[in-house]
Structure 1
Amino acid sequence: MRSTGLLCFSFLFLCLFGFSQEELPPTKSYTTAQIESPIILDGKLDDDAWNQVEWGGDFVGHRPEYNVEPTQETQFKILYDAKFLYVGIRAWDTEPEKIVRRMSRRDGFDGDFVEINIDSYNDKRTAFSFSASVSGVKGDEYVSNNGNDWDSTWDPIWYLRTSIDDQGWIAEFKIPLSQLRFANRENHTWGIQFTRRLFREEARSTWQPIDPNSPGWVHLFGELNGIKGIKSQKQLEIQPYVLASLEKYPKEEENPFKSEGKEVNANLGLDAKIGITSDITLDLTVNPDFGQVDADPSRVNLSAFQLFFRERRPFFLEGSNLLSFRTSGGPNNLFYSRRIGGRPHGYPENVQFMDYPNNTRILGAAKITGKNAKGFSWGVLESITNKERADVQYEDGERGEEIVEPYTNFLVGRVQQDIDGGKTVVGALATHVRRFDNRGNGLEYLHDNAFSAGVDLDHNFKDRKYGMEFKVMFSRVEGTQGAIFNTQTASERFFQRPDNNHKEVDSTRTSLVGSAATFSFGKRSGNWRWSIGSNFRSPELVLNDAGFLRQTDDINNWIWTQYRVNKVTNIFRWQNYNFYAEYNNDFGGAITGQGMNFNMNWEFNNYWGFGQGVWVGGTRVSNADLRGGPSIKYPGNVNYWYRIGTNSRKKVRLSFNNWFNWGNNDYSRSSGISVNVNIRPTDALQVSISPNINWNRNDLQYIAQREFGDETRYILGKVVQETYSMSVRANYNITPNLTLEFWGQPFIAAGEYSEFKRSHLPNSENYTNRFHAYSESEIEFNGQDELYQVYENGSSDVDYEFSDPNFNIVQFRSNFVMRWEYIPGSTLFMVWANNGSYFDQSRQNDFNDLASRLSGLTGNNTFLIKYTYRFIL
């Protein structure tokens, strides 16, 4: 496979589809008025004030069929005063008894709903979305990037009432202007869009016609006129919290830190939201607590790279779209908010017992975001984390403290400028991490300073049907010689590889500078879409102080194309077909990845779904799997997957996913099954059960490296790994604002190793020459010490040994949360969290052996009560 020829041919092929022009529907407009009499929010729309304005309506079909007359009519009215925007929506229904009124917690819908999107900036790129389900559940999202990003973590204060009658149902909104952002002018024109979901038909209709194949969303909104004289809202919300917790764990009589088996804590903190102007907001948090946040799911990592876990903390989630700056490939990003407040980095030595903090305390954080009338937006996040100490008892019995994390300051800044109504967007992001006095207990290997920055450009042309994206980034880290040495030899880089012909370790360096860039061009609208692009990450790139980066030293070229049919046929409600191909190499020219994928996805007229795809990969080279050893070549592979989903409107629905992977030369095999069963016994109760089974065999799994004379032996083995897990989630809505939520995950993983070998000629064209398999006379297992002992070349003495790599893991994690939003913005949480685990390296444990341990797991149980009250001043 040759990347240049493939990409050029694909580019010419795709361009044959031309720069076609499509006529857009006329832009609708609605004129509102200032209220002359009070409105009582009751979901009735019978106040005299509503007679001041006319009904808006004439909705058209959006999905599954565009620009057709919907089966049910929808109308709306809009009014305003100095403080609020009032929206009334009448969802007519000729069969009101069939209205689906299922409940969920905030931002989760499983029934009929209506929605208004408000582009109060009128920038054609961003909007504020407010949704109302027929059962009275509220949803709100911040829409950015012209509708490509929807941030459901945005939780403004607003008010809603709904009602049902013999003609359908009504939603009445009362939205404080302080929750919106708008320019300081006398007369306003805002973009608006209304959407209705008719659940029983799984159909959506909109007020302003927008083709689902359009290149964007917000820029195609209709207009809201008539708002005059509204002033900047001085928003000031203060939300203090009080928390009390009890943690119980198994007693350890000899451990002075766990001898009582319990720990009681109390805490105070504060969140605040300050509207500096109508378009600038400051968010503050002091001593934040995230005790009610779900635990991360269990996973086993046999790779050389760190795992990615998504952010779950509300303060960092809200507005995260603005502070995002993806580099290339998966989760790689200049800013990864979980670096703030993560687990400490230091670890004391020569201690007998230790009380080690699970997380670094965030002393405080501030986030300011805004956008002005000229399309200039910005966001700044500043946070400082605590100097953490571990209470220790030394081996001589003395007690003391050891510093395990220095004071650290995190600073992130983002700017963007819209040009020509958002058709072109230019932006930049920068991060800086500063650590203070990071010495001792391994902290001397942390960077003193870490910088990263990037500039991006997104340009649309031909009525936004085509577009290009360009990004360039750099990083610089500073620290001791030991810190920079560790950076060069870390798993993201492995400069020390003996066959690394383009980079080498420099132990005298005290800084490292790297770069990255990405470019793509493509067609962004229509039934046929495509894109072609290239990106690179230099070997010296360092992002993991403030961002996330799995691996550097990569050049990636790719193409993607999709054909979609958003039209009902005799068989399908919708269809799409996708093709993707890529070619990767490192800066030394080695092919680190190549392959192509084809997949298709359908929804049938009975509302069932089906998808399938195949990936065909060629020979590739890994620069990391031998953990600093030479690169190793792998044969190609084929991966096939398919999925089936039943009717999503039913009270019982099922999805089934199955995948298989075959490695060439039979060096690997793997397969997996995941099932999701979602049950709705009542409109208020939802239960989902998601079992997963994964099986993997890899004949070239890295185990260890050992010195042998003046050579290094890289030991591999055949691993057979089985993983069983099941996520169970139940949500019960007593009211739309009072929910009981349970999540639990039993997790079992077992790995058994055999057929040990050492790397020989890892880049040989002949697969069998890439390793030397130990014969029975060369290796034996010492059961008493649980060690494998190796005798090379018929030696009678042990040349080297390594630990039994077998593993067995059993875990159960769960939390039970009562969440009561007793008034908008103020919440009471009651939480019980459980975390139990078991690990050993016993041999040949099967599923039944391990599953029986689930009921007897010992671990931590945490009980907490958190009370928040939001003052609006």
Structure 2
Amino acid sequence: MKKLVFLTLLLSTFWCFSQKKALQAKSISQNISIDGKLNENEWENAATASDFITFEPDNGKAVPENKKTNIKVLYDNDAIYIGAMMYDDEPDKILKEISQRDNFGTADIFGVFINGFNDGQQDFMFYVSAADVQGDCIMTDANGEDYSWDAVWISKASIIENGWVVEIKIPYSALRFSQENKQTWGINFFREIKRTRYKYTWNFVDRKIGTFTQQAGVLEGIENIKPPTRLFFMPYASYYLNAGEGQKTYGTVKGGMDIKYGITDAFTVDAILVPDFGQTKYDDQILNLGPFEQQFNENRAFFTEGTDLFNKGNMFYSRRIGGKPSVEPDLKDNEEIIETVQNVNLINALKFSGRTKNGLGVGILNAVTEKTFATIKDTISGETRREVVEPLTNYNVLVLDQRFRKNSSVTFINTNVTRNGHYKDANVTGLAWDLNTKANTYSLFGNVKYSTINDTEDTNGVFSTVSFAETSGNYRYSLGTDFVSKDFDPNDMGINFYTNYYNFYGNANYRILNPTKLFNSFKIDYEMYSEFNKESGKVQANRIEAEVNLSTVKNNYYGGGIEISPLESHDYYEPRAENRYVIIPRKLDAWASVSTNYNHKFAIDFNPSISIADEPGRAAYGADISPRYRFNDKLLLIYSFSFLKRNNNKGYIDSYDDDDNETTPETIVFANRDVITYANTISGKYAINSTMTLNLAVRQYWSSAENKDILQLEPDGTLDPYPQYTENKNSSFYSWNADLSYSWWFAPGSQLSALYRNNASNFERIIDKDFKHNVTGLLTNDALKHIFSVSVKYFIDYNAVKNKVRKRA
């Protein structure tokens, strides 16, 4: 009898968890005041969503009664409204650190996740913290959460005697949905109690299944809505004051506008006119000794917000637009460049994106950059001339993404760069697929890309990848392979470093899905990777890796790993010459990581690492350490120190041809060098309130490469002494960046920001090992630049303006 009762309870629990919960939204005609009180009568009469279930760490466990959550949903022709009551029997212990938007810090969180097409593919996520801070993102299982997306919506949180309350208004303009008269949306609600690090969802999300967005509940009852015209203007005005030691101080005024227009409830056009990116975050430049360019993060809002479609297939690197000039001017022996630009100016840009009710996503991005010149001077006559370093250029991305079966997609992508006149044009076309079984237990992922370069010599290339994975359960694995031809080149609008190879890789891992007496989470990974040159068949890379990551019941995080390269490999990139390679010895890498619980006022991150090569004296070691202290709910300071030393590092420094003997191979010069890198950063914030913050970001960086022995690369990939080379090729790069900013979101979508920035950098061949002198030298020399700027952008809703005009009339 007991067994029968237990089986009945087990089956009923499974039935409850496996069914999608449904909630009825209630139509209203009365205005709702977003004040965090839920005191309107409409809230009383609406249906309630409750009975939350633990997402992590104890997946599937019911929420205790003293931590229950009740949710209600209302709607009208303008927006959807969410009212949430989070009960807590210890309201004085609710964590409520005030932070910047999209960065919740140490605070309890409530979230609502909406999928207007109910296709299990993409959620629009809206969060509010107990400190009344907003956060929003777009979520896909393939790419995770993208917090660069910012919508315009209204919320208010307030702490009361038995918990805390959130009231939210989300205009339809912030969502995407079909034009059906009767709407059925996917929806889930989320709550995190920060002091225990427990996370809960309304509809059960089973962590055994490798998907989140497809385990939402259903919102019903939204019928016959007539959303207003989705037309928004965001004019801005900026003032910049530039100054430097011994330089003329000057001011600049800029102005422009962003426009957002909803063609339908599912498709939107975003346009940027006369762009201004002067207040974007600085780039963390490094001493780059390798054969490839440094890749930078995108900090310009237009190219980060809502670009999930354009990132399909990993073919779009937005920093190409408005990046460095693509043309090297032809200089005579007696000429030098006296004036050029680091980045080409963007004239305008436009995005069109959306999805039909049948799951077809369409994305078009277009941008135009201006014709740009460099000034060249004849050092003998003193005459100057101008030469084009970037013609008028058009960048275009087209994406067609067909979703089906709520968990799979096939995507067509095309990127195109057209330069005016007789300059290089580029085109890349790709087909990507992400196929999953109905139960989300297995997946087949891959893509094929074809590049075409139209230049003085046309080239074509292919990239393909395919992988198969088990994506559910405690034990998971994946297998894959890539093939890249020699002439594959997507770098006019994308970024790719390695070509002319094929590889094979596999991964197996184990994780716990529910906490134990010791761990909240535990995961161990094992990976193997082998890469071969396509033409010679030589090993280009090989590694066997094992890694463990875990969190304790006290919410401290630990990790560590070891990686072995058991075979010599052949680096075809470092020599920077066709068909040449340098032999890389076998090596062993190991690392560890510690991150203590951020709930405590003081916490620390520590990440040491070591690398030992099978070559006398060739090794590297370093560490990152980052203590942080939260003085109170408003003030937080974080200091980070990073150190890395590479002993007997072998790297390229020069090459030249023997002009007298065409049969002699190019002479490639390497150096045996010691490379040392230091970086100090300080970041902090003082939150005046949930919409107003002061932020500090300081970074000091110094890296040097001191050559000990000069070496010549032999045709067989070995290195021999080359004492006849006497040119100084030591490298020393140091930089300083400091930003002090003030941000005030004075109205939904409207922001005033002020920024003071000073920065300087210097590259030398002479290495000065006086650390203090290097820092003070930057701060006192003529290279230090000072910029003060103020920017105001204002969000204007066409319908709000129209209604005000009608009322006055």
Scaled by the length of structure 1, the TM-score of the pair is: 0.85
User: Matches of 2:458 and 2:47 in 1, distance apart?
Assistant: 66
For the residue of structure 1 that corresponds to 2:503, the secondary structure is strand
For the residue of structure 1 that corresponds to 2:214, the secondary structure is helix
Matched with 1:341 is 322
Letter in 2 for 1:608: N
User: Matches of 1:249 and 1:165 in 2, distance apart?
Assistant: 52
Q: Which moved more, 1:399-408 or 1:239-248?
A: 399-408
Matched with 2:267 is 280
User: Matches of 1:851 and 1:357 in 2, distance apart?
Assistant: 26
Letter in 1 for 2:287: V
Could you report, residue by residue, the CA deviation over 1:389-428 in whole angstroms, capped at 9, with x for unpaired residues? 34566544445544321100001011111122x2331111
- The answer to whether 1:55 aligns with 2:4 is no
Kept in 2, the 8 Å contact 1:746–1:854? The answer is: no
| Cα RMSD for the two superposed structures | 1.9
For the residue of structure 2 that corresponds to 1:300, the secondary structure is coil
Matched with 1:418 is 403
For the residue of structure 2 that corresponds to 1:569, the secondary structure is coil
How has the CA–CA distance of structure 1 residues 360 and 525 changed in structure 2, closer, same or farther, with 3 Å as cutoff?
Answer: same
Matches within 5 A, 1:790-829: 790=724, 801-829=725-753
Q: Which moved more, 1:66-75 or 1:631-640?
A: 66-75
> How far apart are 1:554 and its partner, in Å?
1.5
- The answer to whether 1:34 aligns with 2:10 is no
For the residue of structure 2 that corresponds to 1:322, the secondary structure is coil
Matched with 2:467 is 520
> How far apart are 1:318 and its partner, in Å?
1.0
How has the CA–CA distance of structure 1 residues 771 and 128 changed in structure 2, closer, same or farther, with 3 Å as cutoff?
Answer: closer
Matched with 2:108 is 112
- The answer to whether 1:756 aligns with 2:710 is yes
Could you report, residue by residue, the CA deviation over 1:422-468 in whole angstroms, capped at 9, with x for unpaired residues? 23311110011000135xxxxxxx51x20001001211115111111
For the residue of structure 1 that corresponds to 2:18, the secondary structure is coil
Kept in 1, the 8 Å contact 2:519–2:552? The answer is: yes
Could you report, residue by residue, the CA deviation over 1:359-379 in whole angstroms, capped at 9, with x for unpaired residues? 211111100001011011110
- The answer to whether 1:265 aligns with 2:246 is no
How has the CA–CA distance of structure 1 residues 226 and 843 changed in structure 2, closer, same or farther, with 3 Å as cutoff?
Answer: closer
Letter in 2 for 1:431: T
Could you report, residue by residue, the CA deviation over 1:25-53 in whole angstroms, capped at 9, with x for unpaired residues? 22111111101433221101111111121
User: Matches of 1:246 and 1:821 in 2, distance apart?
Assistant: 23
Matched with 2:587 is 637
Matches within 5 A, 1:210-609: 210-251=205-246, 260-326=247-313, 333-346=314-327, 348=329, 349=331, 354-390=338-374, 394-395=378-379, 396-398=381-383, 401-420=386-405, 422-437=406-421, 447=424, 449-480=425-456, 510-588=457-535, 589-609=537-557
How has the CA–CA distance of structure 1 residues 615 and 681 changed in structure 2, closer, same or farther, with 3 Å as cutoff?
Answer: same
User: Matches of 2:716 and 2:550 in 1, distance apart?
Assistant: 43
For the residue of structure 2 that corresponds to 1:277, the secondary structure is coil
Matched with 1:614 is 562
Letter in 2 for 1:636: R
- Runs of at least 5 residues in structure 2 that lack an aligned partner in the other structure: 1-13, 799-809
User: Matches of 1:854 and 1:354 in 2, distance apart?
Assistant: 23
Matched with 1:868 is 793
Kept in 2, the 8 Å contact 1:85–1:174? The answer is: yes
For the residue of structure 1 that corresponds to 2:430, the secondary structure is strand
- The answer to whether 1:130 aligns with 2:123 is no
Letter in 2 for 1:76: I
For the residue of structure 2 that corresponds to 1:200, the secondary structure is coil
- Runs of at least 5 residues in structure 1 that lack an aligned partner in the other structure: 1-21, 252-259, 327-332, 439-445, 481-509, 764-769, 780-789, 791-800
Letter in 1 for 2:392: Y
User: Matches of 1:754 and 1:744 in 2, distance apart?
Assistant: 33
- The answer to whether 1:725 aligns with 2:679 is yes
User: Matches of 1:415 and 1:263 in 2, distance apart?
Assistant: 47
User: Matches of 1:149 and 1:644 in 2, distance apart?
Assistant: 24
User: Matches of 1:291 and 1:381 in 2, distance apart?
Assistant: 22
Count of aligned positions: 769
Letter in 2 for 1:342: G
Matched with 1:705 is 655
- The answer to whether 1:177 aligns with 2:172 is yes
User: Matches of 1:290 and 1:681 in 2, distance apart?
Assistant: 33
Could you report, residue by residue, the CA deviation over 1:231-277 in whole angstroms, capped at 9, with x for unpaired residues? 244211111111221211243xxxxxxxx533332222111110010
User: Matches of 1:423 and 1:864 in 2, distance apart?
Assistant: 46
Kept in 2, the 8 Å contact 1:238–1:273? The answer is: yes
For the residue of structure 1 that corresponds to 2:33, the secondary structure is coil
Could you report, residue by residue, the CA deviation over 1:801-836 in whole angstroms, capped at 9, with x for unpaired residues? 452111222210122221111111111121122111
Kept in 1, the 8 Å contact 2:287–2:732? The answer is: no
Letter in 2 for 1:772: D
How has the CA–CA distance of structure 1 residues 398 and 242 changed in structure 2, closer, same or farther, with 3 Å as cutoff?
Answer: farther
User: Matches of 1:706 and 1:753 in 2, distance apart?
Assistant: 19
User: Matches of 2:771 and 2:786 in 1, distance apart?
Assistant: 26
User: Matches of 2:143 and 2:731 in 1, distance apart?
Assistant: 43
Letter in 1 for 2:213: V
Could you report, residue by residue, the CA deviation over 1:470-515 in whole angstroms, capped at 9, with x for unpaired residues? 31110001012xxxxxxxxxxxxxxxxxxxxxxxxxxxxx210101
Matched with 1:787 is none
> How far apart are 1:843 and its partner, in Å?
4.6
Q: Which moved more, 1:837-846 or 1:752-761?
A: 837-846
User: Matches of 2:326 and 2:434 in 1, distance apart?
Assistant: 38
User: Matches of 2:323 and 2:211 in 1, distance apart?
Assistant: 36
Kept in 2, the 8 Å contact 1:556–1:583? The answer is: yes
User: Matches of 2:649 and 2:73 in 1, distance apart?
Assistant: 66
- The answer to whether 1:663 aligns with 2:613 is yes
User: Matches of 1:811 and 1:633 in 2, distance apart?
Assistant: 33
> How far apart are 1:840 and its partner, in Å?
2.1
- The answer to whether 1:140 aligns with 2:119 is no
How has the CA–CA distance of structure 1 residues 619 and 716 changed in structure 2, closer, same or farther, with 3 Å as cutoff?
Answer: same
For the residue of structure 2 that corresponds to 1:272, the secondary structure is strand
User: Matches of 2:258 and 2:27 in 1, distance apart?
Assistant: 33
Kept in 1, the 8 Å contact 2:286–2:733? The answer is: no
User: Matches of 1:84 and 1:250 in 2, distance apart?
Assistant: 53
How has the CA–CA distance of structure 1 residues 341 and 802 changed in structure 2, closer, same or farther, with 3 Å as cutoff?
Answer: farther
Letter in 2 for 1:377: G
Letter in 2 for 1:314: A
> How far apart are 1:856 and its partner, in Å?
2.6
User: Matches of 2:598 and 2:167 in 1, distance apart?
Assistant: 28
Kept in 2, the 8 Å contact 1:752–1:844? The answer is: no
User: Matches of 1:183 and 1:603 in 2, distance apart?
Assistant: 42
Matched with 2:806 is none
How has the CA–CA distance of structure 1 residues 843 and 93 changed in structure 2, closer, same or farther, with 3 Å as cutoff?
Answer: closer
For the residue of structure 2 that corresponds to 1:464, the secondary structure is coil
Matched with 2:186 is 191
User: Matches of 1:351 and 1:834 in 2, distance apart?
Assistant: 32
For the residue of structure 2 that corresponds to 1:298, the secondary structure is coil
Matched with 1:624 is 573
For the residue of structure 2 that corresponds to 1:305, the secondary structure is coil
Could you report, residue by residue, the CA deviation over 1:720-775 in whole angstroms, capped at 9, with x for unpaired residues? 01110012111221121112112110111122111222223534xxxxxx23224x
User: Matches of 2:84 and 2:683 in 1, distance apart?
Assistant: 33
For the residue of structure 2 that corresponds to 1:225, the secondary structure is strand
User: Matches of 1:558 and 1:401 in 2, distance apart?
Assistant: 51
